[in-house]
């Protein structure tokens, strides 16, 4: 797809999208009635500007016009969803040359428009044999009308969308097509293509390193665990940020086996890893001036005669012993090794881990926000602000020391699961905190309800690539604030 900024549309456009907000609805309808010769009263009756509304009209010259409602004061996530939905629903009707009238809207919105249009090209039928795989959405030109040059916003929207489009298949692939080795291969190819270092440690090397919690979780699977370490060094970087993502490519629950009803959805239990992989690629492509470390401990949590058992006591990279009271609380075990490794070996200024960690966070926040846990107020506010900008909301939950009492063990330094019917998301965060070596700028994000959910674009639940845009926005804000402080 070729995308360009224009001050006036060319004579070759065959369809036009006009986004409208409730605040600017009347002026837009006045212009539209001149273009289409549709009576103003009829337009006022048909077009409300409500979020997601799509109305189609034709001009006197036969140009098809889509009027897209954005509601009142839409956020970036809502804009992306509106454009993705319009193009997805009408992709069989859309021509090769398409225009979008952004002349009355902020220039920065071009990023979200481009992102949404690109995402509409994703094909969910990854393994269907009776469908012809679609070609790219447009082989022609997308014209964006605006008085300013939109090239920087267009470039960012494309980079983020193309990264998300590479992350979607990872999230949606079933376990027989997605193993720890798949994630390792993805990381290595991405590093080669976009200029960041990748080192993958196999099971034997993990043993030598002392990543014993990761190995314990994976010992019941024939697909051995991998430990992925990525490093991007941006020009002029002065801060080091470490991201750690849970990469369980399938989670049976182990010996503490899950109910069968929704176990097939556990192919998505590597949503944190997907966010870290995607962020590494996007940041490298955007060439942000930051040193970014990505750590992905990846494994399957399967069941066989070698599987970790409830009651086992295992060791960890940090040297602490863990009583495993529930083998389905495995994500925090591999994150414990990932966090301790990142902090010891890279001395980061900021550490953020992401994981589809607990059903407890879904019962608390539903599918509309991820849980955020940190003792660093400034960092919490920065991430929350980034989430509000991208539409990937975060809600901060307490980290009071009283919750740590739930994890005391009689036989080890700590146990991985309290067994209590409440506050499990908080208890999981308190468990992870033990392995951060009291790092002053650590945040845990529980994305169990946001990484994989119901969408308007698939008949069932699907991956969302939650975290990629959030983390990129956070890193851009971090760089911007640092630059302002040095002026």
For residue range 299-313, list pLDDT tens digits in order. 999 999 999 999 999
Tokens matching residue 454: 């119901």
Sign of the C-alpha dihedral, residues 433, 398, 440, 384? positive
Which entry of 51, 162, 258, 384 is annotated as an active-site residue?
258
Show the CA angle centred on residue 264, arms to residues 260 and 269, nearest 5°: 115
Strands 15-20 and 54-58: unpaired
Q: Is 454 annotated as a binding residue?
A: no
Q: Is 410 annotated as a binding residue?
A: no
Strands 2-6 and 141-145: parallel
- Whether 38 and 14 have beta carbons less than 8 Å apart is answered as no
- Whether 3 and 144 have beta carbons less than 8 Å apart is answered as yes
Strands 322-323 and 313-314: antiparallel
Which entry of 84, 178, 291, 332 is annotated as an active-site residue?
332
- Whether 374 and 439 have beta carbons less than 8 Å apart is answered as no
CATH of 161-486, one of 3.40.630.10, 3.40.50.720, 3.40.30.10, 3.40.50.2020: 3.40.630.10
Tokens matching residue 97: 């040359």
Active site residue 258: yes
Q: So what's the pLDDT on residue 139?
A: 59
- Whether 342 and 244 have beta carbons less than 8 Å apart is answered as yes
Spell out the residues 6+ positions from residue 135 whose beta carbon is closer than 8 angstroms to its own: none
- Whether 394 and 374 have beta carbons less than 8 Å apart is answered as no
- For residue 286, CA distances in Å to 3, 234, 317 come to 18, 10, 33
Q: Quote the CA–CA distance of 93 and 12 in Å, as a whole number.
A: 16
- Whether 404 and 418 have beta carbons less than 8 Å apart is answered as no
- Whether 249 and 347 have beta carbons less than 8 Å apart is answered as no
Q: Quote the CA–CA distance of 421 and 429 in Å, as a whole number.
A: 16
Residues of the chain with pLDDT under 50: 135-136
Q: Is 51 annotated as a binding residue?
A: no
Q: Quote the CA–CA distance of 467 and 469 in Å, as a whole number.
A: 6
Q: Is 269 annotated as a binding residue?
A: yes
Write down the domain spans for the chain.
2-146, 161-486
Q: So what's the pLDDT on residue 133?
A: 54
Second CATH level (architecture) for the domain 2-146? 3-Layer(aba) Sandwich (3.40)
Among residues 298, 299, 332, 339, which one has the least CA distance to residue 318? 339
Q: Is 446 annotated as a binding residue?
A: no
Q: Quote the CA–CA distance of 70 and 232 in Å, as a whole number.
A: 37
Q: Quote the CA–CA distance of 470 and 468 in Å, as a whole number.
A: 5
Domains 2-146 and 161-486 share a fold: no
């Amino acid at each position: 797809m070729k995308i360009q900024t224009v001050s006036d549309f060319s004579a070759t456009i065959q369809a036009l999208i006009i986004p409208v907000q409730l605040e600017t609805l009347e002026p837009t309808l006045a212009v539209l009635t001149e273009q289409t010769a549709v009576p103003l009263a009829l337009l006022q009756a048909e077009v409300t500007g409500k979020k997601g509304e799509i109305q189609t009209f034709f001009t006197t010259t036969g140009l098809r016009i889509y009027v897209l409602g954005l509601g009142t004061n839409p956020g970036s996530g809502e804009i992306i969803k509106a454009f993705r939905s319009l193009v997805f629903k009408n992709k069989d009707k859309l021509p090769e040359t398409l225009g979008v009238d952004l002349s009355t809207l902020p220039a920065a919105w071009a990023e979200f428009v481009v992102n949404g249009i690109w995402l509409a090209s994703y094909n969910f039928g990854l393994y269907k044999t009776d469908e012809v795989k679609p070609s790219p959405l447009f082989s022609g030109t997308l014209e964006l009308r605006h008085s300013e040059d939109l090239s920087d916003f267009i470039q960012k929207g494309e980079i983020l969308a193309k990264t998300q489009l590479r992350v979607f298949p990872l999230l949606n692939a079933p376990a027989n097509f997605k193993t720890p080795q798949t994630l390792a291969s993805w990381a290595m190819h991405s590093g080669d293509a976009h200029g960041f270092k990748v080192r993958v440690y196999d099971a034997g090397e993990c043993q030598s390193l002392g990543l014993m919690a990761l190995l314990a979780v994976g010992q019941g699977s024939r697909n051995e665990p991998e430990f992925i370490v990525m490093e991007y060094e941006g020009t002029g970087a002065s801060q080091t940020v470490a991201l750690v993502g849970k990469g369980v490519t399938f989670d049976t629950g182990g010996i503490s086996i899950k109910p069968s009803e929704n176990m097939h959805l556990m192919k998505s239990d590597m949503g944190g890893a997907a966010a870290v992989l995607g962020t590494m690629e996007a940041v490298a492509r955007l060439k942000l001036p930051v040193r970014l470390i990505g750590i992905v401990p990846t494994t399957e949590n399967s069941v066989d005669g070698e599987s970790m058992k409830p009651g086992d006591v295992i060791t960890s990279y940090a040297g602490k012993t863990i009583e495993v009271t529930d083998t389905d609380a495995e994500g925090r075990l591999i994150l414990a090794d990932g966090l301790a490794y990142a902090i010891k070996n890279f001395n980061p200024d900021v550490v953020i881990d992401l994981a589809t960690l607990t059903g407890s966070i879904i019962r608390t926040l539903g599918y509309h926000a991820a849980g955020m846990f940190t003792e660093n107020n400034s960092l919490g506010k920065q991430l929350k602000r980034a989430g509000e900008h991208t539409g990937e909301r975060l809600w901060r939950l307490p980290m009071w020391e009283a919750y740590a009492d739930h994890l005391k063990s009689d036989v080890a330094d700590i146990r991985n699961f309290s067994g209590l019917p409440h506050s499990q998301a908080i208890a999981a965060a308190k468990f992870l905190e033990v392995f951060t070596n009291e790092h002053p700028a650590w945040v845990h994000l529980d994305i169990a309800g946001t990484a994989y959910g119901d969408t308007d674009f698939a008949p069932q639940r699907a991956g969302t690539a939650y975290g990629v845009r959030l983390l990129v926005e956070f890193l851009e804000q971090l760089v911007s604030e640092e630059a302002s402080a040095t002026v």
